[in-house]
Amino acid sequence: MLLLRRCHSLTGFGPLNTQRHQVAPAVRSYAVRLWSSSSSDDQRSYQGTHGPSWRHGLAGLLAGTGAVLAYGFHQHKAERAESRVQTIEKTSSLPVYSQEEVTKHRSLEDGVWVTYKGGVYDITKFVAMHPGGDKILLAAGGALEPFWALYAVHNQEHVLEILSEYKVGELSAEDQKKQQALKSSDPYSSDPERHPVLRINNLKPFNAEPPPEILSDSYITPSAIFFKRNHLPVPRVDLASYRLHVEGLPGGELTLSLEDLKTRFPKHTITATLQCAGNRRSEMNKVKQVKGLNWGIAAISNATWSGAKLRDVLLAAGYGPDVAKWARHVQFEGLDKDVTGTTYGASIPLNKAVSEEGDVLLAYEMNGEELPADHGFPVRVVVPGTVGARNVKWLGKIIVSAEESSSHWQQNDYKGFSPGTDWDTVDFKSAPAIQELAHSVRHHHTGRRRCG
């Protein structure tokens, strides 16, 4: 089996409907490669060979969350793309609309209008034909910039050319000034500084690995060079207001501050290796092109983690034999979110979470110090032996449930398929979510060792 990381069929407003593969023939002409958390500067093209249709590809870009379309041709600079659109806008003699008029067009019945850099675009037909249209509607009547800012992928000439075909007018000068004043800042502007030695696979969101020769210098990976795999902007968390919510158990919701975690539950320390499911994907790509970030061999690191056992917290929240009769999963939600408030989420099997030997931690320390911002401050889940995607950072909520997490990253990503998979017809929900990874190891502070 090849571990293939699914193209994040996301919009800036949440995951695209996975049924988009039913319309893949329209984009198959350029073998569109979609994946989450990508930027135009950092991606590798996924090349194709057939006809000229590429309109469906605009969906991810209109949505703005990292559905990057790499066509294997036209690697133009962003400046040239912007210049092209500005030229089109200057030479047009289209009507001028107020923001109030644009806002009236927020449905298929009334038309779907959006604005971008002072232009007004009627994308009704595009939304109507695309299976992810309901997500794109979240931008209806407003500006695309806040959504596109979340992922730095929109400055591509072919995308802007397609958008220009839907242009119907100009936004009034007065409303353009207001829009500029209210323009959202870069959502990644508050991300922490990173060590310059890291090899960056993607800038926004940040994904990077240490050079192998440095990784192998120490059994414990220093936090500064520990591989970093983010899906969204790093959240800024106020400790004074931070609360961890535990739900789904008979005792009702349990709410804990960081101080509660530290004082109400015994502190446990383990040494555990975390690994991204895409580690060594660059080697896979030499055999057959797969999807996802082009990680080298170092999307894997080892650290000492300290915190409260998840098992202890669940017991305090009311877990017992009766719950085990119906519950099957423990879901986690992070505090990192996109522009619509959709948070990163994942889940693990209940038996792993409550096992005395599962060693699942709600960690608040890494290598003997407070968790760094990039690694989940103030609390993250550490699930030894399990793929990094389930080790949710910036933990905000824990839910005991009969169902897996409904998160895109649980249902439509981090899945394993055979090398012969047809990406135009594959049903991502048909494969189980990756949990355990071979060769992951963990060590108790007592010195016991077992494979994950």
- The pLDDT of 124-150, averaged and rounded, is 74
450 against 214, higher pLDDT: 214
**Strongest mean pLDDT among 87-101, 141-155, 166-180, 215-229:** 215-229
Structure tokens at 45: 């093209």
- One-letter amino acid identity for 135? K
61-94 per-residue burial string, b: 16 or more CB within 10 A, e: under 16: bbbbbbbbbbbeeeeeeeeebeeebeebbeeeee
pLDDT at 339: 80
Residue 39 near residue 151 (C-beta atoms within 8 A): yes
Q: How many CA atoms lie within 13 A of 91 on its CB side?
A: 7
Q: At 412, is the pLDDT very low, low, confident or very high (cuts 50, 70, 90)?
A: confident
**Strongest mean pLDDT among 91-95, 298-302, 416-420:** 298-302
Of 76, 77, 39, the closest CA to residue 60 belongs to 39
Q: How many CA atoms lie within 13 A of 220 on its CB side?
A: 11
pLDDT at 207: 94
Q: At residue 262, does pLDDT exceed 60?
A: yes
Residue 32 near residue 426 (C-beta atoms within 8 A): no
- The pLDDT of 390-417, averaged and rounded, is 89
pTM: 0.61
Q: At residue 36, does pLDDT exceed 80?
A: no
Q: At 329, is the pLDDT very low, low, confident or very high (cuts 50, 70, 90)?
A: very high
pLDDT at 96: 95
Domains, the chain, ranges and CATH? 2-182 (3.10.120.10), 199-451 (3.90.420.10)
Q: At 160, is the pLDDT very low, low, confident or very high (cuts 50, 70, 90)?
A: confident
Q: What is the pLDDT of residues 60-108, one digit of tens each?
A: 434 333 332 232 223 334 444 455 555 444 445 899 999 999 999 988 8
Mean per-residue pLDDT of the chain: 76
Please give the order of strands across the beta sheet that includes 254-256: 254-256, 244-247, 395-401, 329-337, 343-349
Q: At residue 448, does pLDDT exceed 50?
A: no
Q: How many CA atoms lie within 13 A of 398 on its CB side?
A: 31
**Strongest mean pLDDT among 59-73, 138-152, 156-170, 240-254:** 240-254
pLDDT at 74: 35
Can you point out the beta strands (E) in 103-243? 106-107, 111-116, 119-122, 167-171, 199-202, 207-209, 228-229
pLDDT at 449: 29
Q: Which residues contact 182 (CB under 8 A, 6 or more apart)?
A: none
- The pLDDT of 165-170, averaged and rounded, is 93
Q: Which residues contact 234 (CB under 8 A, 6 or more apart)?
A: 188, 190, 191, 192, 206, 336, 373, 374, 394
- The pLDDT of 147-164, averaged and rounded, is 67
- The pLDDT of 264-287, averaged and rounded, is 90
Q: Which residues contact 144 (CB under 8 A, 6 or more apart)?
A: 62, 64, 114, 115, 116, 154
Residue 273 near residue 441 (C-beta atoms within 8 A): yes
pLDDT at 177: 85
Q: At 280, is the pLDDT very low, low, confident or very high (cuts 50, 70, 90)?
A: confident
Q: At residue 279, does pLDDT exceed 50?
A: yes
71 against 344, higher pLDDT: 344
Q: At residue 406, does pLDDT exceed 70?
A: yes
Structure tokens at 197: 């030695």
Share of residues in the chain with pLDDT > 90 (%): 45
User: Looking at the annotation, which residues are catalytic?
Assistant: 130, 154, 229, 276, 414
Q: At residue 261, does pLDDT exceed 50?
A: yes
CA dist 66 and 330 (Å) reads: 28
CA distances from 349 to 46, 353, 359, 387 (A): 35, 7, 13, 13
Q: Please work out, in degrees rounded to the nearest 5, the angle formed at the alpha carbon of residue 146 by the alpha carbons of 142 and 149.
A: 145
Q: At 308, is the pLDDT very low, low, confident or very high (cuts 50, 70, 90)?
A: very high
Range with the poorest average pLDDT among 18-22, 167-171, 393-397, 433-437: 18-22
- One-letter amino acid identity for 274? L
Structure tokens at 22: 């039913």
